Structures are given as C-alpha cells and as structure tokens.
Amino acid sequence: MSAGSPGEPVCDEACHGKTSAHPERPSRPMRLAYVVTQYPKVSHTFIRREILEIERRGHFVLRLAIRRVEETPVDPSDQAEQAKVLQCLAQPAGKLLLGAARTFITGPIAFVRALSLTIWMGWRSERGLPRHFAYLMEAAYLVQVLRSHSIEHLHAHFGTNATAVARLIRRLGGPTYSFTVHGTDLFDAPRSLDIRGKVADAMFVVAVCDFSAAQLRRWASFEDWSKIHIVRCTVGDQFFNEARPVDPDSNTLVCVGRLSPEKGQMLLIDALTELVHGGVDVHLVLVGDGELRSVLERRIAEAGLTDRVTLTGSLSEAEVRQQLLAARAVVLPSFAEGLPMVIMEAMALTRPVIGTYVAGIPELVRPDENGWLVPAGNTEQLAKAMRAALELPHERLSEMGRHGRDSILKRHNTRVETERLERLFREVVDRGQTGRQRRQRDGRS
C-alpha cells in the first residue's frame, strides 16, 4: 500500500507538513478564550478540533457559549466538550447582574462607551435594541469571567451574536478579540450586522475560504484588508484513516446537513423522483434533522419514495463516517453555504461529491476531477449529475475519490491550519505583552 492511500494511517510527517506529533512547547503558553453563540453543536466539530489542537500545543483555552445548545449532543466528544463550557445565560440571574455591576463600578467610563456602541449597533440591526442591551449585559458579566482566568485574547466563531458580544467586551476594557467568518449569515445582512465595524475593532479576522475573504473585503474598510487571513476548516484524522474504496455495488447517495430550506433537500427529492421514474436504481440517505423534516417526510410519501429514502436524524461523527463510507457519492444541493464540512469529510473518505456553484463549494469540488457542480436550484442538472455518479465506471469513480482525498490532505489539515491560527494569536498576545511592559516601565520612570 502506498503512503497516504485509503485505509493507511495518516502520518504527521507526510500529511501535516513539518509539524511533529509532539510539538515543541512554546516558551510561554497563551491564555485564550473562545466564544460561540451555542457550543458544542453537532455542526461544530471543526471548532472542537481547533480548540483541542490549540490545547495540544500547550495553551489554555476557556470555552464560552452565550446560550445553551438546543439539542443534546450525540457524539461522545461533544458531550465531553459540553462539560467544559461556561454557558452565560445558564448562570443564575443574580450572578449575571452582580458581574455586570462590578464591571460598571470598576470602569464606568468604559461602560458608557460600550453602552454607546450598543445603541449604535442596536439601531442598525434587524435584531433591535433590546437584544443588544442583552448583549451588553452578557459582555459585562463575561469581562469578569475573562479577568478571573487572566485571558489574554478572545476569539469568536461566526460574525453574528458572539462577535457582537466580543466587541462589547473589548469596549468594556476586556481582552482584544478576533473572529472567524463561516457561512452566509453574516453576508446576508452586512450593514445590519456592521461587518465594517466588527472588522475595524478586531485585531484580525479569519475567513475559511477565498469566497468569505472576498466578501469581507467587500464590506470592510480598505485600510483593514490586511487584517483578513484565510485559515481553512479541517478534517479529523479519523476520516483519512478510515478511508476505503467505494463499494462497486453501492447505489446509495448520501446528503448530510440540517433539514432546512437553504440546504436544497426538497429539490433533491424532486431529482430523485425523476431518476426513479426513469428506471434508475438508487437509494438516498438524508443525514440530519431540522424544521423541514415533517415536510420532507410528506413529500417523500407523496412521491412514492418511502422505500427509496432513509432519514437518519442527527448522528454522531462516527456514525456520519459510516454513512459516507456506504455512499457511492455525496450530494449537497445547497442554495447558500460557506465552506461545507461534509464535502471535506466525504473527500477525505475518497467519496466524489455533487455540489452547487455556491460560495466556497467550487474551491473544493472540481468537475471531472473529484465531483460534479450544478447550478443551485436546477433540478434537471442535479438529476443529471446524480445519474452520472450512479453510472460512472467504478475505476473512474475511485480515481475521482483519490483526487478529492489528495486535495483535502494538502489544504485542510488540522495541525497545519491551526498552526496558522496559533501564529496570529501569538502575534497579538506578544504585542499586548510588549505594550504592558512598556507602560509598566513608563510608570516606574
């Protein structure tokens, strides 16, 4: 078996650049915090991998969530993470108010400045002033938490609620902040969410793909473009290590994602109906849950496809891997995306992907090389691509799978990408330490 072939363990030297399995510990570990609106969610495996890799490198990471996760985690790794998270709105009301009061008493001028920013963001936002006053109270409480843990820098994932809170924390005298932009939610309402202001106040901003970086540049001030960096989402080693060739007898197509309008599953049922009526032997597996489940179940029954479609509900990461491995190809007919994790995971397992010409998807899926791309919303082209995947000779299908795996190995490796992020954190923390030392010197003189 050649190095890096499906089924062979992924070695650090071959697949992770020059980073060793036991990196040299930094001379001074950093004290970092992460804030996410909800964490850990089933769709946040990439955040978990990032945090754990930062800790593996010797740094302290405090996990913060604004509110509870609605669904109970099914993955054991997410369950372990949940026990480590401080959930702001799960704290007793008295504790939140006491923390906010302390922040006001110890820094009344900073509090007034943060209040001014809160009003500014609230008037511009579709979410309104009451929601932003809540953000201010959350930020005022979390400032005390961050100080008690001597946090040097705060990183937010997603540019919406969590980043608004991080911005207010900084205005209240808390640590510097940065944030990672993922999907399209931030770009659906860039003025309402004040992308320009969030980028301006941040030390740096991370985009997970070229598309997201371009959108950030579109809305940020030109003077802040240098703050924008690309750090790609990553795939866990388990996906590379468990890869195996496609079963030549498989007629299964798998779609993984929340059952919601923007994921396009309704059109996927229409495309499947067209194939079945055309005599194609195919089975579709929908992995995930969401608000469209009951509607999809009715649509499937009305089309007479009950024996052709399986809805699994939410699955653990290991169970998702097994579903992807059983697939002939993976299909994601999304209308709106950032850079879908499931595409990376499927490719790491050597499965070709059918995707749409949306956002960062074309940065992953390359027609005739590792999959197929179709116009979003075009049922006819979607059905055509699905038929092609089902009828493609096994040898060619396997070749496309290998091409996909190779591209993910090169561009979406946990250690390599987290090292990029670590360097950005280090630059900010060292700059802050130098500034504190200078102020201390000046004070003594």
Let me know if residue 12 belongs to a domain. Answer: no
Q: Are residues 284 and 366 in the same domain?
A: yes
**Tokens at 378, concatenated:** 């075009």
Let me know if residue 182 belongs to a domain. Answer: yes
Domain count, the chain: 2
Q: Are residues 276 and 378 in the same domain?
A: yes
Amino acid code (one letter) for 83 = A
Residue 414 CA neighbour count, 13 Å, CB half? 27
Let me know if residue 212 belongs to a domain. Answer: yes
Q: Are residues 203 and 275 in the same domain?
A: no
Q: Are residues 343 and 369 in the same domain?
A: yes
Q: Are residues 197 and 264 in the same domain?
A: no
**pLDDT (tens digit, 0 to 9) for every residue of the chain, 445 residues total?**
344 445 444 444 334 444 444 444 546 899 999 999 999 887 788 899 999 999 999 999 999 999 988 777 777 888 899 999 999 999 999 999 999 999 999 999 999 999 999 999 999 888 889 999 999 999 999 999 999 999 999 999 998 999 999 999 999 999 999 999 987 767 788 888 999 999 999 999 999 999 999 999 999 999 999 999 999 988 888 899 999 999 999 999 999 999 999 999 999 999 999 999 999 999 999 999 999 999 999 999 999 999 999 999 988 888 999 999 999 999 999 998 888 999 999 999 999 999 999 989 999 999 999 999 999 999 999 999 999 999 999 999 999 999 999 999 998 988 999 999 999 999 999 998 766 656 555 655 4
Peptide bond into 248 cis (omega under 30): no
Give the CATH number of the domain where residue 176 resides. 3.40.50.2000
Q: Are residues 269 and 395 in the same domain?
A: yes
Determine how many CB atoms are found less than 10 A away from the CB of residue 328: 23
To 10 degrees, what angle do helices 341-348 and 394-411 make?
120
**Tokens at 249, concatenated:** 């007898």
Q: Are residues 328 and 399 in the same domain?
A: yes
Domain of 216 in residue numbering reads as 28-234+413-444
Tokens 């996909």, located at residue: 404
CA dihedral 240, 242, 243, 244 (to 10 degrees): 160
Q: Are residues 225 and 373 in the same domain?
A: no
Q: Are residues 209 and 285 in the same domain?
A: no
- Model pTM score: 0.85
Let me know if residue 7 belongs to a domain. Answer: no
Q: Are residues 282 and 318 in the same domain?
A: yes
Let me know if residue 4 belongs to a domain. Answer: no
Let me know if residue 145 belongs to a domain. Answer: yes
Q: What is the DSSP letter of 20?
A: -
Q: Are residues 392 and 433 in the same domain?
A: no
